[in-house]
Amino acid sequence: MTMFFLISAYSLCMTMPRHLRTGRGKTSFYVHRLCRILPLFYVMLGISICFFMSRGVVFKSFQIFLNMTCLYNFVPGQQESIVMAGWTIGVEMLFYAVFPFIYQKFDTLLKVLLLFVGSLLASLIFEFICPWESYTHLSIVRHFPVFVWGMVLFLIGKKWQGLTHFRLALSIFLCLTAIITYANIDILPQWHGMNYYLQLIPFSCLFFGLLLYPLPVLVSKGTAFLGTISYSTYLLHPLILVNMQGVFSHLAAFDLGQPMNFLLYALTTLAVVLPVAYVFFLLVEKTGIRLGKWLMAPAAGAAPQDMALVLADTAVGNGEGDGASPGPALNPNE
């Protein structure tokens, strides 16, 4: 999730000027973020509660409240969320809550770099003094510097936009550097608490490489589609995997060797997860996207029937680029 947190912050910096142009910058930002994230999360929360309760798990009202308000990351022992893999939502929502203020106050590269260093030091201290290791790994304190580094990349990237020569060569060089660095990251100095942040080196190289020149092998209509449904794919896949254990048991009988078995399991999983994720994207995510646009539409006095049309029109694209984004934070038009 490190790469997603990084790109998420970058994309928020990219889209914030659009919100500010509405004259209601913070309101526009929060409405669009909430409508983008919460509908699918709430649907998965309901499904998850039913799933676990059918297996004898009982949730306290306090746990449900924490998940409904996305405050569970503040509470040690509850940071993982009722929704499987939902811990990231708890982290993201806390960053989204403070992002407009950070964007306004830290408006230069130097200021953002100082914020990164400060948050990094705070994270290292927190990891050293916090008695709950499992909590520190999923805490907003640990992941906040990654978001801030995404803002650093945005400000640096703006300076790279004027680069016209050797973009392809530099892109290939940076992507290869990212691969080599990531493959050998264990040989880098392993300071206490710094292991996680060392990933920012290869991820930053990869990011800038693709920013300079989107290599077709990595950036295509196929990968754009996967990005479009990635939020649904991410939240759905753990629950689907749990319910596919019987299928995997049958596949194990083929015993094709570890690499081929992995490939077989992966293709089988994708064959199930991707179609389901696409349906959830159409029915849930796009409804939330359109709801956010409708709530912030210039015509404040929209009639109720207009809202009905917005909610009904979930299966057809509106030509405004509300797809093709690698996650819920990456589309400038959402």
Q: Which residues have C-beta within 8 Å of that of residue 131, sequence separation ≥ 6?
A: none
pLDDT-derived band at 42, boundaries 50, 70, 90: very high
Least Cα distance to 122 among 150, 100, 148 occurs for 148
- pLDDT, tens digit, for every residue of 48-95? 999 999 999 999 999 999 999 999 999 999 999 999 999 999 999 999
Question: What pLDDT, on a 0 to 100 scale, did the predictor assign at position 250?
Answer: 80
Q: Which two tokens stand for residue 164?
A: 């016209």
CA 3/CA 12 separation, integer angstroms: 14
What pLDDT was estimated at residue 282?
97
pLDDT > 50? residue 300? no
Is residue 191 scored above 80 in pLDDT?
A: no
**Residue 318 pLDDT > 90:** no
- Which of the residue ranges 190-194, 221-225, 324-328 would you say has the lowest mean pLDDT? 324-328
Determine the pLDDT at residue 240: 94
Token pair of 136 as six digits: 């520190």
Q: What pLDDT, on the 0 to 100 scale, is given for residue 192?
A: 67
Q: What is the pLDDT of residue 328?
A: 41
Find which of 120-124, 241-245, 302-306 is predicted with most confidence, using mean pLDDT: 120-124
**What mean pLDDT comes out for the span 211-218?**
86
Q: In 3-state terms, the chain is what percent helix, strand and coil (to 5)?
A: 70, 0, 30
Instruction: Please write the tens of the pLDDT for every residue from 247-279.
Output: 878 877 777 777 888 888 889 999 999 999 999
pLDDT of residue 190: 67
Could you tell me which residues come within 8 angstroms of residue 31 by beta carbon, excluding any fewer than 6 positions away? 292, 295, 296
- Give CA–CA dist 53/60, Å, rounded: 11
Q: For position 331, what pLDDT does the model report?
A: 41
pLDDT of residue 333: 37
- The whole-number pLDDT of residue 298 equals 65
* pLDDT value at residue 249: 80
Whether the Cβ atoms of residue 328 and residue 37 lie closer than 8 Å to each other: yes
pLDDT above 80 for 171: yes
| The pLDDT of residue 138 | 94
Residues 3/182, Cβ–Cβ less than 8 Å: no
Give pLDDT tens digits for 236-248: 999 999 998 888 7
Report CA-CA distances (Å) from 123 to 9, 59, 126, 143, 269. Answer: 18, 31, 5, 8, 36
* Average of per-residue pLDDT across 152-173: 84
More confident residue, 248 or 120: 120
How does DSSP assign 125-173, residue by residue?
A: HHHHH-S-HHHHHHSHHHHHHHHHHHHHHHHHHHHHTT--SSHHHHHHH
Identify the three-state secondary structure at position 327. coil
Asked if residues 203 and 3 have their Cβ atoms less than 8 Å apart, the reply is yes
Amino acid 258: pLDDT:
72
Q: What are the domain boundaries of the chain?
A: 2-161+220-312, 166-218
For the segment 140-146, the average pLDDT, to the nearest whole number, is 96
